[in-house]
Chain A
Amino acid sequence: MEFDWSAEEIEYREDLRAFLVETLPENWAEISKDGPGSDAQAAYSLEFCAKLAEKGWLTQNWPAEYGGRDASAWRHAILGEEMWQCGEPRGAQYMNVNWIGPTIMEYGTEEQKTLHLPPIARGEVQWSQGFSEPEAGSDLVSLRTLAIRDGDDYVVNGSKIWTSYVNHAQYCFLLVRTDPESKRHKGISILLCPIDLPGIEIREIPSVVGDRYFHEVFFSDVRVPVSSRLGPEHEGWNVVAHALQYERVGAARYARAALTLDELARRAAELGMIEDEAVLERFGEARAACEAARMLAYRVIDLRNQGSPPTADTNVARVANTLAEQAVAELALETFGPDALEYGSFADSHFRLAMTAGVAVGATEINLNLVANRFLGLPRE
């Protein structure tokens, strides 16, 4: 065991920070105040990702064969920390580089790779994930959106819900049931579905999280070419389960939370609150939670770096990250007091981002199930 960054990694982080200072516009705080789903941030992400791609950093984690640099999992994690810390200027495109691109590399046809990978690597394309449905949330395998084969097309009918970023996306990584007689894990396929096909309708679900955060997507007799199916027909579940393990620690939530906490401590010091023993204790507790979440996320990166298949360490890390973000979010509101009630204020922005942590990409309870069964070896119910 050793816990030092290499000289090369330290230099990379410094380069990245310098790049961010140079690149992010002066009104970045304004652009990012409504979150990555907003029009302003989505538009900016295209500009930003093109610049990141020019530096060779956008898809550095990809193999050289696909235009990447074979960067280590650690180097890619540094990128993730620095991006998430400053409000994720990649917008939704972090998903493209973290798991959508790599999943296409692993399971895609040559045609799919040629079509999808270069635009992702250039930072030109936005994706969304079509997983949850009204009747399939935590129990994702009960999904019902049907894709029935008709000649060279699938005819898709059904709906997806809570779909973030779909309002700006060109594609949806769509889970469908291709075998109408099937149940649960069997009979599911993945479609790399263009979002501009006739019969797709997108409606925003207004929420307190932020503008354009959630959407519902309706599919009515949408004809999706069979050539856009990723991986084997009816057997898409394993592909998705694999991809999800990467998604769960895709966002360096601990890094943003830790930075926010430092800002809160400065604010609490200005207000003379921080000398209070009870306040100090709360801040210390939240800081420890952020640090624990960081180390548990690093454990996952370490396993990935060794080439280990995904383990339940990912779920352990996810639970810890949620706890850390929630601890900081509560302190944010309490430190700022009623000033936090103003939309777009520092505390409000952090709180809105944090409030979804225990639900997004799998509820905490699902993660705890997996920790109990796979990490502790407790028997299934």
Chain B
Amino acid sequence: MDFELNDDQRAITEAIETLLAQHAGAKRAVELGPKGDYDDALAAALSDAGFLEVALGEETGALEAVLVVEAIARAAGVVSAGAEVLVAPLVAHRALPGPVALVVAGESAPIRFGAHARTLLVSDGDEARIIDVAAGAASPVKSNFGYPMGRVELPAGAGESLGPGSGPSLRSWWRLALAAEAVGAMGAALDVTIDYVERRRQFGRAIGSFQAVQHRLAQCAVAKEGSRWLTYEAAHHGAPAERAATAAAHATASARLVFNETHQFTGAMGFTREHDLHVWSMRLWALRLELGGAAGQKRALARARWLGGS
């Protein structure tokens, strides 16, 4: 057991953070957000720098990919990071043309990156399928929840099947990606909130000095930190069904707490587009609703542990 980053991991996190400082961040997300645009420039930069190959590298794998996904989420990158950096390579064993959207067969609700996706990775019972999207088959959906959303129409049985058993595998990697993205977004949401409560003064003192505020933010930190380590551990073990669902269940449950408390403590300012909180906080709810929702992650964990199912 070793909880410290090794040299490779440190090099990867430093490299991704350098790239993100240049190409991503809250300001960029706010610029793209209202228009529902995808960040093609960031996607190209990630691809050029080799971050789409981290999951299948010789010296790197799922854990390093999770660190990259978390960093991109923390920098509010408007790219399909979880799907492209982590899920697609580990389920399809190759990079897929991005943007990649993850979708459950038979569901017609808006999905993240649905309007921009060139590739759909479909969870279809026991199978995962890859579908190339013809231009125009998807329609954008206006959404307030931090990601470009769209609806896609899936022709039944279309695309390339990745074979029996690939469905559960897809759902496990997807859950891990959800957890990693939630951890990144929670970290950033808490950071901006802590910064806010340290500077915002009422009753002659920083509101962050009130115990009522401190305890609730401390509880958020406990929830987020637990989610973070569970995510890394699940990644290290290759996202077995139970561990992936554990990370997703805890991260999406924690996301609710972090959403509520960060918005509570940033007051009316936190609802504005002038303040950055919404860039991360609204995404937390999008993540909480995906792949069966936060309650679904808990049930998936219980089924994997006690009922032998996924």
Report which A residues bind B (CB closer than 8 A): 1-5, 74, 262, 265-266, 269, 274, 277, 280-285, 287-289, 291-293, 295-296, 298-299, 301-303, 305-306, 316, 319-320, 323, 365, 368-369, 371-373, 375-381
Contacts and interface: CB of A to CB of B under 8 A. Distances in A.
Contacts of B209: 378-381
Interface of B: 1-6, 9, 63, 194, 197-198, 206, 208-211, 213-215, 217-219, 221-223, 225-227, 229-230, 232-233, 236-237, 245-246, 249-250, 253, 295, 297-303, 305-307
Contacts of B9: 1
Given A288-B298, A379-B206, 8 more contacts: A5-B1, A285-B253, A323-B222, A369-B211, A372-B211, A376-B214, A379-B209, A381-B210
Contacts of B222: 296, 316, 319-320, 323, 371
Residue among A284, A289, A375 with max Cβ neighbours from chain B (10 Å): A284
Nearest to A74: B1
Nearest to B4: A1
A282 B301 CA distance: 11
Nearest to A283: B302
Contact of A281 (B226, B230, B246, B302): B302
A2 B236 contact: yes
Given A74-B1, A302-B1, A306-B4, A378 B208 contact: yes
Given A292-B250, A295-B229, A316 B1 contact: no
B194 A377 contact: yes
B50 to A, nearest CB: 21
B218 A368 contact: yes
Given A280-B303, A287-B302, A288-B298, A295 B230 contact: yes
Q: Which label, helix, strand, loop or mixed, suits the secondary structure of the A interface?
A: helix
Contacts of A368: 214-215, 218-219
Nearest to B227: A292
Given A1-B6, A376-B221, A280 B299 contact: yes
B207 to A, nearest CB: 10
B229 A296 contact: yes
Contacts of B237: 3
Contacts of A281: 295, 298-299, 302
Given A319-B219, A379-B198, A372 B214 contact: yes
B3 A302 contact: yes
Given A296-B229, A379-B209, A2 B219 contact: no
A265 B253 CA distance: 21
A2 B2 contact: yes
Nearest to B232: A1
Q: Which 5 A-B pairs have the closest CB atoms?
A: A292-B226, A284-B298, A372-B214, A295-B229, A371-B218
Contacts of A299: 3, 225, 229
12 contacts: A1-B4, A1-B63, A3-B233, A262-B306, A281-B298, A288-B250, A291-B250, A292-B230, A372-B215, A372-B217, A375-B218, A376-B194
Contacts of B250: 288-289, 291-292
B3 A280 contact: no
Nearest to A5: B1
A369 B210 CA distance: 10
Nearest to B297: A284
A3 B232 contact: yes
A149 to B, nearest CB: 39
B187 to A, nearest CB: 12
B225 A2 contact: no
Contacts of B63: 1
B229 A298 contact: yes
B214 A369 contact: yes
A5 B1 CA distance: 6
Contact of A376 (B1, B218, B223, B305): B218
A316 B227 CA distance: 12
A144 B191 CA distance: 41
A305 B2 CA distance: 9
A212 to B, nearest CB: 33
A284 B300 contact: yes
